[in-house]
Structure 1
Amino acid sequence: MKKLDVSKHEREIIEDAIKHWQEQSLLDAEKAKVLQANLDDKGFEWGMLARYAFWIALASLIFSVVSLFSDGYLSDLVERFYETPNVVFCLGFAAIAVFFYALGFRNKANNPDKNFSNETLMLAGAFATAASIGFLGQILDRNENHYTLMFLLSILIYGVLAVKIKSKLLWVFTLVALGIWFATETAYHSNWGFKFWGMNYPLRFTIFGALLTAFAYFIQPKLKSIDYFQSTSFVVGLLYSMIALWLLSIFGNYSDFDKWSSVRQYEIFYWGLLGIGVSLGLAIYGMKTKDHAARDIGFVFFILNLYTRFVEYLWDNINRTIFFLLLAVSFWFVGRWAESIWKKKPGV
């Protein structure tokens, strides 16, 4: 009989579970011994090595491009082609994108289990697509500065490819491109100002993220073509909203730095209160429904909002020694609280 390969940490969890079931008379000693004997220590973590290797390969590729432009000789060489038409770069990056996508499709068809290599190829294709669309924007919209149609094109490309090969990474690119389109579209209609319909960027993205989260929660599960990405959309929508709401709690709905500088933080306290309330509600919802993503995001932003308020209101008002002492004590209590939640055993 084939044994189950587990890491040391996984073995400890499984053995604790078996012991608990024995104590609750849900499992007899003989069956418990059979189950423990079926566990085998996992060897070297090749999967983790593969993931890190592909990440390092991608980072090295980016650094190589940066080095290309920072090297003196190569910079001179690039400058000689400065007058090269944008259409050449556009088509060149498009060809590179097609090349990587073709490799990704072929690799996925032949080796569907090699997720890391497949995702890396698609990621390279996504970067090349972004570059190609950027040069296409230079060609078509050079005098108009209205690039939103280009972002819509990137959303279409990433979305179709993500659905075609069921790539959550490309779906993330789709949602990021959607966010960039939203930002540029609203900026274009406000004459490239910081406010649109009386809302600055943080307030706009708080609403945008909330709408994306609602779409993922209520509508996306009903759409068969994209229900596979429901959890991804839900997490990205929450991150859009919570990051924007946190920034809103700091800067308020101001678009002018001078006006914001003259405002005392207590005058925009209600945004901070809203951020604390939403993040705490999200954490409680996640704990009650066993939604780990909602719980973790809510918990992180609840702590972030609390400590942001802590710094805003106490940094200039109390002695530094007392400030850091209070900070240390509060983090200790936070650690104890987190430990009591994450380490609590079922049935205890």
Structure 2
Amino acid sequence: MQLNRKDRQVLNQLLNFWVDKELLTSEQSARLQQSVTVKKTGWQLLARYAFYCTVVCGVLAIVAVMMDDRLIELLLKLFDASAMVKSAGFAVAAALVLSLGYRFGKKAPNRLYTRESLYFLGVLLIAASDWFLGKALDTGSGHYSVLLLSACFIYAVAGLVLSSRTLWLFALGTLFWWFVEEIGYQTEYAFHLYGMNIFIWFSLFSALVLCSSYLCSSYLMPHSPRTRLFFPMTKTTGLLCLFSGLWGLAVFGNYDSAANWKAVSQFELWQWNLPLAISSGVAVWVGAKWDDDIYQRVGISFFILLIYTMFFEYVWDVIHQALFFVLLGLSFWALSHFAEKIWLKKQR
């Protein structure tokens, strides 16, 4: 249940009064308090979304720098020191920024987004340190995935120590990036290993991360309450990556090259739609059984995505484009009508 701040204060006073009168036990009061959350105000939501935009812009800035060779050369010319010295300098700066964020969090625990913004700056500095370390140790092998794995380890340890969702999110993102890069390196970027392409490997790895999150939640959470902070994020990330890999498999099948994929008809790929369709059904069932909205939303969303993907694949070249968009619009109307009916039933 969500209440505004004033109602939450009144409820806490009532619960404390009932505990004093021995009408409730302390355990029952704590359980009731945990079931109530404070509604986010407009300014709080603005702070959250502005922080998300900060993270996205920072990531895009890094990608833009990495794709611009001239800018990289300019940055290298700005510093006359060796790559190892630059790496050490950025590492020290990252440690100082993370320490500053930790101290700020201790002084102002309610300033969550300001603290996480400092941690995000630390993420960028760690990435720069890791990149210069790769420059210093480069042997010409092109095995860059080792650097990604080291960055993932640093982000994960820092996230656990500092209880930072931002650092943990980048640890997860770097982990999946490392896996894709490692598959590319092992296959000379053909992305087809042991008869399976990158989409199958990515789905399997995502399933492994998802299962590992549940194992850790079962065995580590009772002994380390700090890990509870990261289980929902790890579960959601693993689930989204798993279904994204299955969707890629539904579109491209298990072909080892784009040329081989283009040479076949989409009707020959129908069997690769089954893993995503079955997984979506299982996710909706698990979500209903465990009362987990994440599973239900992901399962329903990717099932709808699969339906529309098949619609584009099988119908686009068969009928006139005007009729295609008419049918597409009607399908969205039917989906909206169906969702509205379910929503109205739940309101009763």
Q: Which amino acid aligns with 1:336?
A: H
* Secondary structure of the structure 1 residue equivalent to 2:346: coil
Q: Which amino acid aligns with 2:220?
A: L
Contact 1:280 1:298 in 2 (8 A): yes
Contact 2:285 2:296 in 1 (8 A): yes
In structure 2, the residue matched to 1:162 is 159
The structural deviation recorded for 1:82 is: 7.5
Q: Percent identity?
A: 34
Which segment drifts farther, 98-107 or 84-93?
84-93
Q: CA RMSD in A?
A: 3.3
Q: Pick the aligned partner of 1:127 from 119, 124, 127.
A: 124
Q: Pick the aligned partner of 1:175 from 157, 172, 176.
A: 172
Q: TM-score if structure 2 supplies the norm length?
A: 0.78
In structure 2, the residue matched to 1:315 is 316
In structure 1, the residue matched to 2:288 is 287
Deviations 1:7-54 (A, max 9, x none): 9xxxxxxxxxxxxxxxxxxxxxxxxxxxxxxxxxx9973322333444
In structure 2, the residue matched to 1:98 is 95
Relative to 1, partners in 2 of residues 1:115 and 1:205: Cα closer, same or farther, differing over 3 Å? same
The structural deviation recorded for 1:160 is: 1.1
The unaligned stretches of length 5 or more in structure 1 are: 8-41
Contact 1:154 1:174 in 2 (8 A): yes
Q: TM-score if structure 1 supplies the norm length?
A: 0.78
In structure 2, the residue matched to 1:217 is 214
The structural deviation recorded for 1:316 is: 0.4
The structural deviation recorded for 1:108 is: 1.2
The structural deviation recorded for 1:57 is: 5.5
In structure 1, the residue matched to 2:21 is none
What is the rounded CA distance, in whole Å, between the counterparts of 2:40 and 2:126 in structure 1?
Answer: 39
The structural deviation recorded for 1:83 is: 6.6
In structure 2, the residue matched to 1:46 is 43
The structural deviation recorded for 1:159 is: 1.1
The structural deviation recorded for 1:205 is: 0.5
Q: Which amino acid aligns with 2:337?
A: R
Q: Pick the aligned partner of 2:191 from 185, 189, 194.
A: 194
In structure 1, the residue matched to 2:141 is 144
Q: How many residues align?
A: 310
Q: Which amino acid aligns with 1:193?
A: A
* Secondary structure of the structure 2 residue equivalent to 1:255: coil
What is the rounded CA distance, in whole Å, between the counterparts of 2:51 and 2:4 in structure 1?
Answer: 27
The structural deviation recorded for 1:60 is: 6.9
What is the rounded CA distance, in whole Å, between the counterparts of 2:143 and 2:291 in structure 1?
Answer: 44
Is 1:340 aligned to residue 337 of structure 2? Answer: no
The structural deviation recorded for 1:249 is: 0.8
The structural deviation recorded for 1:62 is: 7.2
The structural deviation recorded for 1:4 is: 4.3
Deviations 1:189-245 (A, max 9, x none): 334432122221111111111111122234433213434322111111111111111
In structure 1, the residue matched to 2:258 is 257
Contact 2:183 2:198 in 1 (8 A): no
* Secondary structure of the structure 1 residue equivalent to 2:332: helix
* Secondary structure of the structure 2 residue equivalent to 1:345: helix
The structural deviation recorded for 1:101 is: 0.6
Regions of 4+ moved over 6 Å: 59-69, 74-77
Which segment drifts farther, 215-224 or 112-121?
215-224
Deviations 1:232-273 (A, max 9, x none): 111111111111111111111112111111011111111112
Contact 1:221 1:230 in 2 (8 A): no
Relative to 1, partners in 2 of residues 1:105 and 1:334: Cα closer, same or farther, differing over 3 Å? same
* Secondary structure of the structure 2 residue equivalent to 1:240: helix
* Secondary structure of the structure 2 residue equivalent to 1:208: helix
What is the rounded CA distance, in whole Å, between the counterparts of 1:317 and 1:296 in structure 2?
Answer: 32
Is 1:238 aligned to residue 235 of structure 2? Answer: no
What is the rounded CA distance, in whole Å, between the counterparts of 2:40 and 2:212 in structure 1?
Answer: 42
Q: Which amino acid aligns with 1:89?
A: K
Relative to 1, partners in 2 of residues 1:133 and 1:198: Cα closer, same or farther, differing over 3 Å? same
The structural deviation recorded for 1:314 is: 0.2
What is the rounded CA distance, in whole Å, between the counterparts of 1:63 and 1:329 in structure 2?
Answer: 36
The structural deviation recorded for 1:113 is: 1.8
Relative to 1, partners in 2 of residues 1:98 and 1:293: Cα closer, same or farther, differing over 3 Å? same
Q: Which amino acid aligns with 1:163?
A: L
In structure 2, the residue matched to 1:272 is 273
Contact 1:276 1:306 in 2 (8 A): no
Which segment drifts farther, 307-316 or 332-341?
332-341
Relative to 1, partners in 2 of residues 1:138 and 1:277: Cα closer, same or farther, differing over 3 Å? same
* Secondary structure of the structure 2 residue equivalent to 1:344: helix
The unaligned stretches of length 5 or more in structure 2 are: 8-38
